[in-house]
Amino acid sequence: MPQVVLVNPQIPPNTGNIARTCAATGTELHLVGPLGFEISDRYLKRAGLDYWPYVKLHYHKTWEAFKNIHQERGGKLLGFSVRGSSNYIQFQFQPDDWLLFGSETTGLPDNVLSACNATLHIPMAEAGVRSLNLSVSVAISLFEARRQLGYLL
Protein backbone atom coordinates (compact mmCIF):
# COMPACT_ATOMS: atom_id res chain seq x y z
CA MET A 1 0.00 0.00 0.00
CA PRO A 2 1.33 3.48 -0.78
CA GLN A 3 2.79 5.42 2.14
CA VAL A 4 2.55 9.14 2.94
CA VAL A 5 5.68 11.14 3.70
CA LEU A 6 5.60 14.71 5.03
CA VAL A 7 8.95 16.47 4.69
CA ASN A 8 9.37 19.36 7.15
CA PRO A 9 5.66 19.95 7.89
CA GLN A 10 5.06 23.23 9.75
CA ILE A 11 1.39 23.40 10.74
CA PRO A 12 0.18 20.97 13.44
CA PRO A 13 -3.51 20.85 12.42
CA ASN A 14 -2.57 19.88 8.84
CA THR A 15 -0.39 17.03 10.09
CA GLY A 16 -3.14 15.98 12.51
CA ASN A 17 -5.71 15.90 9.71
CA ILE A 18 -3.32 13.88 7.53
CA ALA A 19 -2.73 11.47 10.41
CA ARG A 20 -6.49 11.03 10.70
CA THR A 21 -6.74 10.22 6.96
CA CYS A 22 -3.88 7.75 7.31
CA ALA A 23 -5.56 6.12 10.30
CA ALA A 24 -8.82 5.74 8.39
CA THR A 25 -7.07 4.12 5.43
CA GLY A 26 -4.46 2.05 7.28
CA THR A 27 -1.71 4.04 5.55
CA GLU A 28 1.73 4.47 7.10
CA LEU A 29 2.65 8.09 7.82
CA HIS A 30 6.29 9.20 7.83
CA LEU A 31 7.28 12.58 9.25
CA VAL A 32 10.69 13.84 8.16
CA GLY A 33 12.30 16.53 10.30
CA PRO A 34 12.91 19.12 11.14
CA LEU A 35 9.28 19.64 12.07
CA GLY A 36 7.72 23.04 12.72
CA PHE A 37 6.16 21.71 15.94
CA GLU A 38 6.65 19.13 18.66
CA ILE A 39 5.07 15.71 18.18
CA SER A 40 3.29 16.31 21.49
CA ASP A 41 1.78 19.60 20.23
CA ARG A 42 -1.81 19.95 21.48
CA TYR A 43 -3.03 21.24 18.09
CA LEU A 44 -1.57 18.19 16.40
CA LYS A 45 -3.27 15.90 18.90
CA ARG A 46 -6.58 17.76 18.62
CA ALA A 47 -6.67 17.60 14.82
CA GLY A 48 -5.99 13.86 14.96
CA LEU A 49 -8.70 13.46 17.61
CA ASP A 50 -8.64 10.09 19.31
CA TYR A 51 -7.32 8.29 16.23
CA TRP A 52 -3.63 8.45 17.15
CA PRO A 53 -3.58 4.81 18.36
CA TYR A 54 -4.56 3.82 14.80
CA VAL A 55 -1.83 5.83 13.06
CA LYS A 56 1.18 3.87 11.83
CA LEU A 57 3.50 6.79 12.55
CA HIS A 58 7.23 6.90 11.80
CA TYR A 59 9.47 9.83 12.64
CA HIS A 60 12.78 10.42 10.85
CA LYS A 61 14.98 13.23 12.18
CA THR A 62 16.51 13.97 8.79
CA TRP A 63 16.03 13.35 5.08
CA GLU A 64 19.10 11.08 5.16
CA ALA A 65 17.54 8.97 7.93
CA PHE A 66 14.38 8.61 5.87
CA LYS A 67 16.36 7.67 2.74
CA ASN A 68 17.91 4.76 4.64
CA ILE A 69 14.44 3.39 5.43
CA HIS A 70 13.35 3.91 1.83
CA GLN A 71 16.40 2.02 0.53
CA GLU A 72 15.61 -0.91 2.84
CA ARG A 73 11.98 -1.10 1.71
CA GLY A 74 12.25 -0.04 -1.94
CA GLY A 75 9.55 1.56 -4.08
CA LYS A 76 9.29 4.80 -6.02
CA LEU A 77 9.50 8.25 -4.46
CA LEU A 78 6.72 10.43 -5.89
CA GLY A 79 7.10 14.11 -5.14
CA PHE A 80 3.96 16.23 -5.17
CA SER A 81 4.57 19.82 -6.18
CA VAL A 82 2.80 22.64 -7.98
CA ARG A 83 5.75 22.35 -10.39
CA GLY A 84 5.32 18.59 -10.85
CA SER A 85 5.74 17.38 -14.43
CA SER A 86 2.91 14.80 -14.46
CA ASN A 87 -0.78 15.13 -13.67
CA TYR A 88 -1.44 12.79 -10.72
CA ILE A 89 -4.60 11.41 -12.42
CA GLN A 90 -2.60 10.23 -15.43
CA PHE A 91 0.08 8.55 -13.30
CA GLN A 92 0.02 4.78 -12.69
CA PHE A 93 0.48 4.24 -8.96
CA GLN A 94 2.05 1.08 -7.56
CA PRO A 95 1.50 -0.53 -4.14
CA ASP A 96 5.03 0.28 -2.93
CA ASP A 97 4.96 4.00 -3.84
CA TRP A 98 5.91 6.71 -1.36
CA LEU A 99 3.82 9.90 -1.72
CA LEU A 100 6.02 12.84 -0.67
CA PHE A 101 4.71 16.27 0.32
CA GLY A 102 6.68 19.30 1.50
CA SER A 103 6.04 22.00 4.02
CA GLU A 104 3.04 24.26 3.70
CA THR A 105 5.18 27.34 3.05
CA THR A 106 7.95 26.11 0.75
CA GLY A 107 6.93 22.71 -0.63
CA LEU A 108 9.50 19.99 -1.20
CA PRO A 109 13.14 21.10 -1.11
CA ASP A 110 15.13 20.81 -4.35
CA ASN A 111 17.30 17.97 -3.00
CA VAL A 112 14.15 15.94 -2.24
CA LEU A 113 12.57 16.70 -5.62
CA SER A 114 15.75 15.61 -7.38
CA ALA A 115 15.67 12.29 -5.50
CA CYS A 116 12.12 11.55 -6.69
CA ASN A 117 11.40 9.04 -9.45
CA ALA A 118 8.56 11.28 -10.63
CA THR A 119 7.04 14.62 -9.71
CA LEU A 120 3.28 15.00 -9.79
CA HIS A 121 0.87 17.90 -9.60
CA ILE A 122 -2.81 18.32 -8.87
CA PRO A 123 -4.29 20.55 -11.61
CA MET A 124 -6.25 23.61 -10.56
CA ALA A 125 -8.62 25.58 -12.77
CA GLU A 126 -7.85 29.00 -11.26
CA ALA A 127 -4.35 30.23 -12.12
CA GLY A 128 -4.42 32.74 -9.25
CA VAL A 129 -4.59 29.97 -6.64
CA ARG A 130 -1.02 28.95 -5.76
CA SER A 131 -1.78 25.63 -4.07
CA LEU A 132 -4.24 23.52 -2.15
CA ASN A 133 -4.10 22.94 1.59
CA LEU A 134 -1.56 20.23 2.45
CA SER A 135 -4.09 17.91 4.09
CA VAL A 136 -6.42 18.25 1.10
CA SER A 137 -3.57 17.47 -1.33
CA VAL A 138 -2.59 14.37 0.62
CA ALA A 139 -6.19 13.11 0.75
CA ILE A 140 -6.79 13.69 -2.97
CA SER A 141 -3.56 11.93 -3.94
CA LEU A 142 -3.84 9.05 -1.50
CA PHE A 143 -7.41 8.26 -2.48
CA GLU A 144 -6.55 8.34 -6.19
CA ALA A 145 -3.66 5.93 -5.59
CA ARG A 146 -5.95 3.68 -3.52
CA ARG A 147 -8.67 3.87 -6.20
CA GLN A 148 -6.26 2.83 -8.95
CA LEU A 149 -4.93 -0.03 -6.85
CA GLY A 150 -8.39 -1.36 -5.96
CA TYR A 151 -8.22 -0.51 -2.24
CA LEU A 152 -11.56 1.33 -2.22
CA LEU A 153 -13.68 -1.71 -3.01
102 assigned binding-site residue: yes
**Helix H segments across the chain?**
12-25, 42-48, 63-73, 110-115, 134-148
81 assigned binding-site residue: no
Cβ-contact 91, 120 below 8 angstroms: yes
Cα distances (Å, whole numbers) of residue 146 to 6, 10, 37, 115, 133: 18, 26, 29, 23, 20
40 assigned binding-site residue: no
Binding residues for S-adenosyl-L-methionine: 102, 122, 131
Binding residues: 102, 122, 131
